[in-house]
Structure formats: structure tokens, C-alpha cells
Amino acid sequence: MDDKKSTYYETLVKKEWSYTSGAVVMSVLAVMLASFAGNWGVAGPLAIWGGKFLTFIGIDADSWKMFGGSLAKYRFLNNQAAITNVALIFGAMISCLLAAQWKIRGIRSPRQVWAAAIGGILMGIGARINPGCNIGAMFSSIPALSLSGWIFLVFMFLGAAAGGKILTKWFLPPVSYERKERRKKPSPEQRKRNRIIQIIIGAALIIAWLVFALATKEAAPSAGFMLFIGIGIGYALQRSRFCFTAAYRDPVLTGSVKMTKALLIALAVSTIGFAGIHMSRYGVDLSKLPEIAPGGAIGLHLVIGSFIFGIGAVLAGCCACGIFIRIGEGCIQSLIALLFFITGYLLGAPLMSNIVQKSVFLYSGKGIYLPKLLGGFGPAILIQLLVLLLLWIAADRWERRKFSLFLK
């Protein structure tokens, strides 16, 4: 019995999960969030956070057209994306702490700072032009049977491929052959003490979540649930090391598609879950479908925004969701990327409202809902699952081909 308990502990807390395990857990939690509180998104609160900071330092940002008084009305407990974003950090931190693996991950080269800054700005601008990041505009849109999600996926993949070329040419630190001074290894007693401290802090964070859920039950009944979902996603992604950016970047950069196949499985699982949600809302025959169908707007802005976002994500080293996971792990580069992500999002807002949305050529404002386009939920779901299966097979063959060429 003790051995079994030890095995469960090792599996849940200590051992690294497979990419697919983390991706599937993330998908299930995202479907749960969509069922009770709305689709998972990440980029939405960033402009508000940036505006709040400007207000704090004495700039009247609330009077700007992009905010229009929304800063004064903003309440953290009523903002789903804000709560889940913060929860991602705590989920990743709890995962590291319970495994006694948390540490500050510093900057090794000035090029990392430049990559994080430029990548963050590009992600922010791309997410605002699109609008939406790889979570709201892709991971929550494809399962929601929106054509815009597929367009985002294609052009973010192309942007990630371009970003990989830029990263390897200009931003990877040069190889150093200098011998570095070895750090003094901690003694067994110090390691044991550090492990106990980290586990205690991790347990304290879990207790803090429970206290938060109880304390906000009256004012915001769903806040505790949303925090639980975010912590769960953060925990699963950190434990499995699943990374959206790697899923787009690695097939071209290294030939590996393990992360890509995990993402495709996650999209398939989410598609089934979202289909159930949509059929319960709109009816199997689409009789209750609103005039404005679910899904992001289709237009050239989607192509441009997702391509720019893809470049930025590769340079920064992680996507919008990944930034919060890496911060939870103690990564300084991701904290820099977040600050510049917010900056880019603020810069992209006037670009979106003054240029993109005013151009018929760039922005249509209309979405395409696949069940409506394909004649019902049945055909839309079957075709989408078939496309995901074909992409999985293509990715698997791509890796086999790359591996065989490497052996030759």
C-alpha cells in the first residue's frame, strides 16, 4: 500500500508527465471553464493592466479612446481571464514547489533580454490586431468550430517558422568555451531543508486558494472555481512541460513533432467537449443559432496578426499562456516578455481602431461558424476531427522522414 501511495505521489508530483497527458488535462479543464464561465482567453486583461499601471503613475489613461472609462469599472474578481492568468502562475509555482524544483532562472545573455523585449512587443501587437492570442484566437476557437481559429493556426505556424530563422541568426547567444566556475553544491542536509521548505510553501499556496475561494464566495461566486481551473491548467502544463510555441516551432527548427501531436490530440478532445456545449446552447439543428455566429472575425487582419504573433512567441521563448507558466517557474526572461507584451498590446490598440477596423480591405468584422457553413454540427465535427487526424498522421510522417534523413 505504501509503495502504491509512493507511486501515486511520484507520478502526480515528482515525475514529468508526457506532453499528451498535460495537453489532455488542459483540454478537459478548458472545456469545464467554457461550460461554466466562458471560453478560456489570456490576452484580454493585458491592456487593462497596462492602463492601470499608467493611471498609477499619474497618466489619465482612462480618458483614452481605447479604454473609455473601463479602467474605473474594472474589477479583478469579475474578470475571468485576469483570474485564470494569475492562477496559471500559481499553478506552475505549486507544481515546482511540491516537487522541490522551484528556482530563479536568470538571464544568461543580453540577447535573451532583446529577444524577450522584441518578442513580447510583437506578440502584443499581433494579439491586438488579430485580436486574440494563441489561446483565445486558436485553442478556444478551433474547438468552438470557428474558421478563424484554423486561419490563426496556419499563419501562426508560418510566423513561428520565420521566428525560428530570426532567433537562430540573431538572438541565440554565442557558444562559449570558457570554463565557468563551478558552484558549490549544497550538502544533503541543505537539499533536504530546501525540499521541505518548498513543499510547505506549495501546500500553503493550496490552502491560500481555498481561503480565497471561501472569502470571495459572496462577492464573486465563480472566482474560486476560475482560480481552480487556472491553477489546474498551470500545474498540468508545468508538470508535462507542454508548450504551444514549441508545437509550432519545433517541426521546422528541429524536426520534432511530439509537442505538435499532443496539441492536435488536445484540439480533438476539446472539439468533442465544445460540440456538446454548443449543441446544448443552439440546438442540434441550429434553430437557436444567433444572427452573429460564434467565432472570430475573418479578414486580412487575422493573417497579419497571427503571423506577427508567431514570430514574437518564438523570439520570446513562449506564447501568451506560456509566459505565465514560465513566470511561475521563476523565469526572468518571461517576466520581461510579459512587460513588453503589455506594451505591445497598448501600442496595437490604436493601430487596430484607427487603421485596421476602418479598412474594408483589412477587416470584415464577420465570423464564419463551421456548422453553419457545412450544414450542421455532425458534418462540422466529423470533418474537423478528420482534419486533425490527417494532420497528426502528416506530423508523424514528417518526424519519421526527418529522423531517417538524420540517420543517413
- Supply the mean pLDDT for the chain: 90
Considering only residues 287 and 182, tell me which one the structure prediction assigns the higher pLDDT: 287
The pLDDT confidence band at residue 108, using thresholds 50, 70 and 90, is: confident
- How many Å apart are CA 383 and CA 391, to the nearest integer? 12
Please write the tens of the pLDDT for every residue from 253-308: 888 999 999 999 999 999 999 999 988 888 887 777 776 666 678 889 999 999 99
Distance of CA 76 to the CA centre of its chain: 20
Considering only residues 375 and 162, tell me which one the structure prediction assigns the higher pLDDT: 162
pLDDT at 225 over 70: yes
Please write the tens of the pLDDT for every residue from 18-61: 999 999 999 999 999 999 888 999 998 999 999 999 999 999 99
The pLDDT confidence band at residue 183, using thresholds 50, 70 and 90, is: low
- How many Å apart are CA 363 and CA 68, to the nearest integer? 22
The pLDDT confidence band at residue 5, using thresholds 50, 70 and 90, is: low
Q: What mean pLDDT is predicted for residues 350-370? A: 85
4 in Cβ contact with 211 (< 8 Å): no
pLDDT at 228 over 90: yes
Q: Spell out the residues 6+ positions from residue 52 whose beta carbon is closer than 8 angstroms to its own.
A: 71, 74
Q: Which cell is 5 given?
A: 501511495
The pLDDT confidence band at residue 10, using thresholds 50, 70 and 90, is: confident
- How many Å apart are CA 264 and CA 259, to the nearest integer? 9
Which residue stretches of 241-376 are H helix?
A: 244-253, 258-282, 300-316, 320-329, 332-351, 370-374
329 in Cβ contact with 317 (< 8 Å): no
Lowest-confidence pick of 244-258, 272-286, 318-332: 272-286
Q: What mean pLDDT is predicted for residues 151-156? A: 96
Please tell me the predicted confidence (pLDDT) of residue 177: 46
Please tell me the predicted confidence (pLDDT) of residue 64: 86
Q: Is 212 helix (H, G, I), strand (E, B) or coil?
A: helix
- How many Å apart are CA 17 and CA 25, to the nearest integer? 11
Closest by CA to 228, choosing from 46, 18, 80, 10, is 80
Lowest-confidence pick of 141-155, 210-224, 324-338: 210-224
Hey, which residues does 105 pair with through a beta bridge?
Answer: 331
Q: Is 312 helix (H, G, I), strand (E, B) or coil?
A: helix
Lowest-confidence pick of 25-29, 100-104, 178-182, 381-385: 178-182
Closest by CA to 87, choosing from 194, 216, 200, is 216
First-to-last alpha carbon distance for the chain, in angstroms, is: 49
Please tell me the predicted confidence (pLDDT) of residue 269: 97
Please tell me the predicted confidence (pLDDT) of residue 292: 65
Number of H helices, E strands in the chain: 16, 0
Closest by CA to 41, choosing from 109, 170, 140, is 140
How big is the chain by its Cα radius of gyration, in Å? 22
- How many Å apart are CA 331 and CA 192, to the nearest integer? 23
Exposed/middle/buried for 51, CB within 10 Å: 0-12, 13-18, 19+? buried
What's the 3-state SS for 372-395? HHHCCHHHHHHHHHHHHHHHHHHH
Cell 510579459 belongs to 338
157 in Cβ contact with 310 (< 8 Å): yes
Please tell me the predicted confidence (pLDDT) of residue 372: 87
Please write the tens of the pLDDT for every residue from 383-406: 999 999 999 999 999 988 876 655
Please tell me the predicted confidence (pLDDT) of residue 65: 83
- How many Å apart are CA 370 and CA 391, to the nearest integer? 18
